[in-house]
Structure 1
Amino acid sequence: MRKLLHFIFLCWAAGAHAGTIRVTVYTIGETPVPGAIVTLQGVHPPSMAIHMVADSAARVAFHPAQDGEYTITAAAFGTGIANSGPFVWHGRDTAITLMLPSNTRELAGVTITANKPLVEADGDKIIYNAGSDPSLAGLSAAEALARTPFVSVDGEGHVQLKGKGGFLIMLNGKQTSMFANNPGEVLKAFPATIISKIEINTQPSAKYEGEGINGIINIITKKKVAGYNAHTSLTYNSIGQVNPNMAFNLKYGKLGITSFVYFANSMNFHAHGEQVYTPLISAPFAERRTLDTTTTNGYMAGGNLEVAYDIDSLRTLSLYGRLAAGGKTLEQQSLIRSYSTAHDLLQQSRLTSEDESHTPSGEAGFDYQQRFRQPGRSLFMGVNVQTSGQKKILQSGQVYTTEEERLLRNQYRGSNTQTCIQADYALPIHPSFILEMGAKAIFRQVGAVYASQIKDLDADQYHPDLANDDELTYSQNVGALYSMGTWKIKRGGITVKTGGRLEKTNIQGHFIRKKTDVTQDYYSFLPSFSITKNWASGRYLTLQYSRTLTRPGLSFLNPYTDNRDPLLISRGNEHLHPEFTNNGEVSFSNFNDKFSYTLALSGALTQGSIQRYIRFDEATGVSTQTYSNIGRSQVAGVSGYLSANPAKQLSATLNFNCYYAAISSTADASEKHRGLYGSLSTAVTYLPSEKWMLFSNVNYTRPPVQLQGRSGDFLFYNIGAGYWLYKKKLRLTVAMLNFMNKYWQVNDRFESPLVRQQNTSFRDVRSLSIGLRFSFGKLNENTSRKRGVKIDDRNQDPQ
């Protein structure tokens, strides 16, 4: 019986690792070398060498007993030795070509190719191999992300991970600030053809806990060795959006240059809508209605440049910089009416406003990376400086039927400078255990100057509004230490990753005119744990836990008061504290060439979450909107991804997220809100020939539940075709967007115990999009080496 069980186990093990490593041996002149001695050596975990003799076709076939890291060498009489170098084998059929030099002073060439599935897993990461997807040719990074597990992209370029915001977008392991403010426009300009893979981590380890709450999207560009290439594109749609961009890469010897320039312009974008405010208690009016017509013009532009120098095969130095600018002008005409309980008109006025803003920014830094001959051992050091500014001018005039006037001019200037110093070190303690540790220091300096002027008649002179006039200096210094261990049990296919991050935060803020201070000083400990079980058949089971932190960004902290409408005021809150969230997730995945799926169940508990809320003054009828740490949020949900490739020419993906949220107020126990939210997105591509591509995308988003309400849902869909011209260097793309709806109606609803706010807006959505993308040059390795310093741990945008 014992021998029978042993035999069954050996048969199961042999079937679990049915993949083959096939090696072909040539000389530099591409002449086959029968009789060459080929050796397979296990590196991690270590194993005995296997020697084989190449057959008459100069081929050998190895059948390793388990996944792992291997090297292959080949030698023959009268030639030198060719070595593949270490590579990771995942049990799939793999082809390797070794080129034997004529003498030992010549370098050997190695080519390794494997049949990669479009989607696979590696520990706690899910990987979309964009470089293996032929349907992405001529498309953008935004379209590549739309096919990535758990990622959805709507028609305006807004990106969500598992139906939520608050995540990091990295480029080659670095969170560049070009994705910080409006990633959608940049991703639409970024060419998908230079992307090798996209890594998704929905529960970041302690290494990243201070920088993101909902996950990490890491875009890895293709590896190249010599030459140059360039990609340029132009997209225009009929509702006034223009997006030209260009990417250029050069590799010459040890020097590599990577550059990217983009521009996005939105011209005369129109919207209209109605706002209804209804007091739920006795107030100076029973209902207030506002009819709005809005015209928006805006632009974004920027450029990135990186220079990388390979000191030797193990050390690389990268210098990089970025310059960007953006601006927007919003003109709004409003008709405001107030009614009594008998629906008699109490007051009517016309409000005209022009809101102009400019946001210049820049970034500079350097990285030093060193690998060691010991596999898995590495050192990274980097310095990154980011700076941004904001200038905002608001002019408004309100004229009442009684011929009274109220004219306002508000000005705001803000600056934000961040400096980060980071060092990471990874050390393999054992072939199955790697220890990572690191330190990081962040220094933030924020300044804000805001001034308000007001007058009652057009002919009068403006005089200061001292209640909305001050200057703020704000500093935030963060020091962090982290340690993380990864333990791989190869025989059981189990990977365990655990770690912790300790942060010290000090905040000093001072209002110069009001002579008031803001002070915070606290420690944070952020643990993380994950365990993954993988089977050779491509199935994965993962259990994860993490505690995350999100600090409020300048959009929440800004004390500037927008009082263009005297009865509807909004402002930030400089006294906000960070959010702490406990996250848990269990997921099951199955990946193969034809059909892949992932299903995840998750839950999150947040104490002191930042919530938007409305205060209402029943005596004056003034509503004030601001933010506070008054939320207790419990969220549970399911996320899923399906990918089907029934034929070589046809591919389809589906992402869905559905969450149930229960939010209560710690300031008022009677305030509670529960509800469902989530998203659904699909992407279908068909390649009827080498030149033609047909595609369609659908995205539906229902925004998250908030304490006092929620924003309205949004639907985007398109259908289009692409055609290759000029020897497959020029791609023409034509698409119809939301062709069944000229306008999309968005319904926002918020309600406090004292007042209800309902907003209905109509936006132009039907459009025709035309795009051209031209590629030229030949480059065979990515010039970008920077890993970079990740420094964005803030909640940027109010929801």
Structure 2
Amino acid sequence: MPALNALSAEKSIYADGGKLVGKIVESPNNTGVSFATIALLTVKDSAVVQGSIADLDGIFNVPNVKPGNYILRVTNLGYQTLYVANVRVATEANLVDLGTLTITSEAQKLSEVTITAEKSMIVDDIDKKIVTIGQDMLAASNNVSDLLEKLPAVSLDENGNPQLRGKGNVVVLIDGKPSNLYGSDLPTILQSFPANLIERIEVMTTPSAKYEGEGASGVIDIITKKVKIRGTNGGVRLSLGNTNTHAGSANVSYKAGKFGLNSSVSGQMGDKYWERTLDRENFVSETPTFLKQAGSGDNGNKNAFGRIGMNYDFNEKNTIEVGANYSRYKNESYSDLLNRTTFENGTVKEEFTRINKGNGDGGNMNFSFDYRKKFDKKDQLFSFTANYSMGVSDGESYFDQESNIDSLDRHQQNLRNNNRNSLFLNTDYTWPITKKATLEVGVRSRFNSNDNTNAFYSLNSENQEFEFNSRLSNIFAYQDETYTGFVTFSQKTGKWGIRTGLRITDYNQDINQISSNRQFGVHFLTLVPSLAITRKLSDISQLKLNYSRRVQRPEADWLNPFTDLSDPRNVQTGNPNLKPEFTHKAELGYSSYETNGGWGPSLFMDYSDNAITRIRTIDENGTSLSRYDNVGKEMSYGLETDFNSTLWEILKINGSGRIFRSEVVSRMAQIDNRAWSYSGNLNAFIKLPMDFRASAYVNYEGPRAIAQGSRDGVFIANMGIRKDLMEKKATVSFNIQDVFLSRTYKSQLNTATYSQYSLWHQTNRLINISFNYRFGKISTRPANGA
């Protein structure tokens, strides 16, 4: 039996047993402790016989407890372990209420402690899945992009943008705030954030009205770690890899009395090599022609990220937090693309090689202010957040197009400049009307401005000087203003729970197409309702029914009528007549999660009317024109499940999978594509002798119907091995990403006027070795006001 320390408590329960219930709170504020781990131990040998995880409010249930005497153990990151001795469950009883159990922060412990959360966990809330990030995921993940691939229903496209259930248009938040406050390029932002700064990630496929109405596929909220304990803790990480892929990061947190400080820095670099092909048959002209593009290239990226945050607790009711972060990136690219057009008999009509060399750099600065106030009556909470972000990016590209045909031989330069500013204001008020009913209202305002210049210069063959080309240049500016209000109501009565809400958004956008001296604006007023109903079946299982309406408003680039001719055989333009796309999302799900595993199957359906889709047309010369359009209806429906399990105490597996049908139908565009498909991912972690652990990750996104054709399936496999050192304060790991070089994206388009096959393939696997060290020093001296 474990020795009971100074925090141990004894409770003799002669009660109504069979099921243990209670609430875990933190001393001295008596606030609920989220996700504390509860284990029931035998008195004889302290073996674990049953367990549970507390919910967001610290409430827990331990079901199916056999009659007898037990010890209850409560553990959580940053707190002293609490033992409750002499817990008795009588034969005739069916309920044991342990009441409120208080745990204390590690501030009273001496010397250094190792700050770890060994095992990742999934908690199914009423409208989201919450994945807490443990050391199992962190050991095989350098940044947030690596973490996202391991989550239920989440994958990344070829550019590193998150997808939910294989579809884009996902809103990504960081601590509840728009991710574009941290920069304009989402993949770069996700790769800049070190994985060990993340506490949990919330995945919402049918979000409530509290969250952004945009994002037809759903919302991902990335929650960073905060200072929870008094003292100092942090970590450093270094990763070295092939293809010049290296990364390093460090973070430290300090808490003394009312004051807390957290800071981090990170940097990484890497090269990505790829190959690309495109084969297109043109049926428009009287004599069919065939275009073949084939080439390769590489992208080299360097980025750095730093952040600092400070919080001050005036008292138990009032807290402020201020922060700033700065990011910087540089990239270099090279591509060599052969373009050959032939007739049906194989005769070459035209041929040229287009070489592109480019580079760019930019930076982003973000300032934030948060204020939280608790009221005495019924735990009412008021919060205010303000964020201001400013960024700049510059770049240049050089195009050398070489051909035996003089009219196709050309040399061009493109100089790019972008300046952007964003302001985000957020006010929330939470009012617990009763112990089981809560009303939450909020107001959001967001302002963005962007000045974008693409200046093209063409070489004059006579004087060998570059001259400004107004036909290829694009200079435009835009501003948008978003005003949002929402209200949600939640209530739990017995075994039933409900959360309903409504969000109203007024969106205004002004676009100034300076190149063509054209100005226009768009205005959208949208309503986003949501409804979630849950029914508890047992202490660890529940049913839930969710509905949410989502909206995808056209982005500025989609609306901008400028025609991009930088690829002369694949031209792109915007569509100022685009309308918003509305998506109805519904799910009926079951979940059952406990300490050693669980699963969460669900039936889902997404239906979009007026869907925004990229449409490609072709002219007699074989040149394609792409632009976004409201083509018609998109629908997907099927069965999905996530699962996790611990087997024989040495193997942990988690994953998700789905079988679904995708349909894209548009009479206007003469599209009718329907297909069944399947997708899924699997993570496995196994304990080996001598503190070694191995991990493997596989993901497969099955083929699906898209506008004008279909997309093939994509398979990805990663693996690694790690060893804990220095009493588990340090970890060294060896990882391989894309083991089989299978990250290949293929698509086929078939219309009455052309047939096209395209491929993009990453041609280098990533191999790296990483060292991670965690530290924590806890002070025994309480600060003033603590």
Q: TM-score category by the smaller chain?
A: 0.7 to 0.9
Deviation of the 1:109 alpha carbon:
7.7
Q: Quick one: distance in 1 between partners of 2:212 and 2:457?
A: 43
Confirm or deny that 1:423 pairs with 2:427. yes
What letter corresponds to residue 773 of structure 1 in structure 2? N
Confirm or deny that 1:763 pairs with 2:762. yes
Which structure would you say has the larger RCO, counting Cα contacts within 8 Å and 6 or more residues apart?
A: 1
Write out aligned runs for 1:488-503 (5 A).
Answer: 488-489=492-493, 491=494, 493-503=495-505
Write out aligned runs for 1:8-407 (5 A).
Answer: 30=6, 58-61=10-13, 88-92=58-62, 95=74, 97=82, 110-111=103-104, 118-131=121-134, 136=138, 140=142, 145-152=148-155, 159-177=162-180, 195-213=198-216, 214-219=218-223, 221=225, 224-267=228-271, 269-282=272-285, 286-404=289-407, 405-407=409-411
Deviation of the 1:368 alpha carbon:
0.6
What letter corresponds to residue 630 of structure 2 in structure 1? N
Cα 1:780/1:299, change in 2 over 3 Å:
farther
Matched-pair contact (CA < 8 Å) for 1:482–1:501: yes
Q: Quick one: distance in 2 between partners of 1:777 and 1:533?
A: 42
Deviation of the 1:206 alpha carbon:
0.8
Deviation of the 1:645 alpha carbon:
0.7
SS in 2 for 1:210: coil
What letter corresponds to residue 163 of structure 2 in structure 1? Q
Deviation of the 1:455 alpha carbon:
3.5
Matched-pair contact (CA < 8 Å) for 1:613–1:752: no
Matched-pair contact (CA < 8 Å) for 2:610–2:633: yes
Deviation of the 1:172 alpha carbon:
4.2
Which residue of 606, 609, 612 maps to 1:607? Answer: 609
Cα 1:484/1:458, change in 2 over 3 Å:
farther
SS in 2 for 1:463: strand
SS in 2 for 1:430: coil
For residues 215-240 of structure 1, what are the alpha-carbon distances to aligned partners after superposition, in whole Å with 9 as ceiling and x for unaligned? 33343536622112222212233233
Deviation of the 1:189 alpha carbon:
6.4
What letter corresponds to residue 650 of structure 1 in structure 2? L
What letter corresponds to residue 708 of structure 2 in structure 1? Q
Cα 1:109/1:204, change in 2 over 3 Å:
closer
Q: Quick one: distance in 2 between partners of 1:414 and 1:240?
A: 28
SS in 2 for 1:556: helix
Deviation of the 1:703 alpha carbon:
6.7
For residues 324-352 of structure 1, what are the alpha-carbon distances to aligned partners after superposition, in whole Å with 9 as ceiling and x for unaligned? 12232221222222111211112222222
Deviation of the 1:64 alpha carbon:
8.2
Name 1:642's counterpart in structure 2.
Answer: 643
What letter corresponds to residue 714 of structure 1 in structure 2? V
Matched-pair contact (CA < 8 Å) for 2:401–2:410: yes
Which residue of 476, 480, 505 maps to 2:480? Answer: 476
Q: Quick one: distance in 2 between partners of 1:61 and 1:158?
A: 53
Name 1:586's counterpart in structure 2.
Answer: 588
Matched-pair contact (CA < 8 Å) for 1:225–1:780: no
Matched-pair contact (CA < 8 Å) for 1:358–1:391: yes
What letter corresponds to residue 683 of structure 1 in structure 2? N
Q: Quick one: distance in 2 between partners of 1:276 and 1:394?
A: 26
Matched-pair contact (CA < 8 Å) for 2:719–2:737: yes
Deviation of the 1:699 alpha carbon:
1.4
Cα 1:83/1:335, change in 2 over 3 Å:
closer
Q: Quick one: distance in 1 between partners of 2:184 and 2:317?
A: 35
Q: Quick one: distance in 1 between partners of 2:319 and 2:553?
A: 33
Cα 1:691/1:186, change in 2 over 3 Å:
farther
Matched-pair contact (CA < 8 Å) for 1:472–1:510: yes
Q: Quick one: distance in 2 between partners of 1:462 and 1:502?
A: 51
Unaligned runs of 5+ in 1: 1-23, 33-56, 74-80, 100-107, 782-799
Name 1:526's counterpart in structure 2.
Answer: 528
Q: Quick one: distance in 1 between partners of 2:325 and 2:479?
A: 24
Q: Quick one: distance in 2 between partners of 1:362 and 1:776?
A: 29
Name 1:76's counterpart in structure 2.
Answer: none
Unaligned runs of 5+ in 2: 33-56, 63-71, 75-80, 85-100, 107-116, 781-786
Q: Quick one: distance in 2 between partners of 1:124 and 1:210?
A: 14
Deviation of the 1:161 alpha carbon:
3.1
SS in 1 for 2:539: coil
Write out aligned runs for 1:542-691 (5 A).
Answer: 542-557=544-559, 561-618=563-620, 620-665=621-666, 667-668=668-669, 670-677=670-677, 679-689=679-689, 691=691
Q: Quick one: distance in 1 between partners of 2:491 and 2:61?
A: 20
Deviation of the 1:573 alpha carbon:
3.7
Which residue of 537, 540, 545 maps to 1:538? Answer: 540
Cα 1:122/1:747, change in 2 over 3 Å:
closer
What letter corresponds to residue 541 of structure 2 in structure 1? R
What letter corresponds to residue 363 of structure 2 in structure 1? P
Q: Quick one: distance in 2 between partners of 1:755 and 1:728?
A: 60
For residues 252-310 of structure 1, what are the alpha-carbon distances to aligned partners after superposition, in whole Å with 9 as ceiling and x for unaligned? 2222122222222123x332232212102226761111221212222222222211111
Q: Quick one: distance in 2 between partners of 1:433 and 1:31?
A: 34
For residues 341-368 of structure 1, what are the alpha-carbon distances to aligned partners after superposition, in whole Å with 9 as ceiling and x for unaligned? 2111122222222233334222112111
Q: Quick one: distance in 1 between partners of 2:388 and 2:332?
A: 29
Give the TM-score, by structure 2 length: 0.82
Worse-superposed segment, 452-461 or 201-210: 452-461
Name 1:701's counterpart in structure 2.
Answer: 701
Name 1:785's counterpart in structure 2.
Answer: none
Q: Quick one: distance in 2 between partners of 1:62 and 1:325?
A: 63
Q: Quick one: distance in 2 between partners of 1:589 and 1:628?
A: 39
Deviation of the 1:151 alpha carbon:
3.4
Deviation of the 1:550 alpha carbon:
2.2
Deviation of the 1:769 alpha carbon:
2.1
Matched-pair contact (CA < 8 Å) for 1:235–1:770: yes
SS in 1 for 2:213: helix
Give the TM-score, by structure 1 length: 0.80
Matched-pair contact (CA < 8 Å) for 1:94–1:112: no
Matched-pair contact (CA < 8 Å) for 1:407–1:458: no
Q: Quick one: distance in 2 between partners of 1:549 and 1:780?
A: 50
Q: Quick one: distance in 2 between partners of 1:182 and 1:473?
A: 18
What letter corresponds to residue 61 of structure 2 in structure 1? G
Q: How many matched pairs?
A: 709
Q: Quick one: distance in 2 between partners of 1:329 and 1:116?
A: 39
SS in 2 for 1:468: coil
What letter corresponds to residue 486 of structure 1 in structure 2? S
Cα 1:674/1:135, change in 2 over 3 Å:
closer
Deviation of the 1:654 alpha carbon:
1.9
Confirm or deny that 1:778 pairs with 2:780. no
What letter corresponds to residue 626 of structure 1 in structure 2? R
